[in-house]
Amino acid sequence: MGGSSAGAPTNPEAIRASNEEREEAASELGELFAEGRLSHETFMRRMDEALGARDRRQLDGLFTDVPRRRPGTGTLAALRASLSRRAARGSALLAAEADALADAVRSSFRGRSDPAPGPVPPVPAPLYFPPTASPVGRRYSIGRDSRCDLLIEDTTVSRWHARLERAAGRWLLTDLGSTNGTRLNGWRVGQPVPVQAGDLVTFGSALFVVCPDDRDAAERDTADPRDARDVGPAAPGGAGSESG
């Protein structure tokens, strides 16, 4: 009957230690030293023994006077786990910030390509020159009073607000001392000013665009020089210049 060879392990405890087991023992010794449970001299000696151990029995002997920890429960393991959790939280925060920045950039580009609609400008109403052969004659009153030739039912318009008068072959616009004023193409009317087709006229806040009257074209071409006279301040029909 053949005998066993010398130096061969005779029990499970003498099984040869692997590199992983030696590294695990060294790591656990480091945690014990970090906790102050091993002196520096003891730590250095046992580290040499752990790295040079040939079997598991030698590794176990390094911890006979110190209870061994379960894997993953030491101080260093806890520190590594805490760092891992912090790194994971940091990655999540960075991802959230990146998403928010991307949304802001997309919103900015959407705003440039599709701007929000602005206020709609008012549409001017047409204002036609009266035919010079009409009963109105060469004076045309404008205001909120029912006796005006052009009645504008707007609270910003005075009762006798302005007047159009024919002189020297053209129409002159005069403000009759209105409360909110008369404007021609944005300029406030102080003295009689000529108006023509295409001009924008504002009485208070009522906006009009002057339109041509084809029926008056022939008369404009053959203007009577006697029409060139001073424009009087009186309102039509003897109403005076009241503007209230």
Per-residue pLDDT averaged across 177-184, rounded? 95
Task: Find out whether 237 and 230 touch, Cβ atoms under 8 Å.
Answer: no
Strand spans (E) along 14-161: 125-128, 139-143, 150-151
Cα gap 142→203, rounded to integer Å = 9
Residues 6+ positions from 207 with CB-CB distance below 8 Å: 122, 123, 124, 125, 200, 201
Query: Cα–Cα distances in Å, from 74 out to 49, 61, 69, 70, 92?
Result: 21, 19, 7, 8, 27
pLDDT tens-digit profile of 16-59?
888 888 888 888 888 888 878 888 888 889 888 888 888 888 88
- pLDDT band for position 225 (50/70/90)? very low
Angle, helices 19-34 vs 40-52, to 10°: value is 170
pTM (predicted TM-score): 0.42
Per-residue pLDDT averaged across 156-177, rounded? 92
DSSP codes, 137-203: TTEEEEESSTTSSEE---TTS-SS-EEEEEETTEEEEEE-S-SS-EEETTEEP-S-EEE-TT-EEEE
Q: How many helices (H) and strands (E) does the chain have?
A: 5, 10
pLDDT at 88: 76
Is the pLDDT confidence value at 166 over 70? Answer: yes
Tell me the average pLDDT of the chain: 76
C-alpha 37: how far from chain center: 61
% residues pLDDT > 90 (the chain) = 26
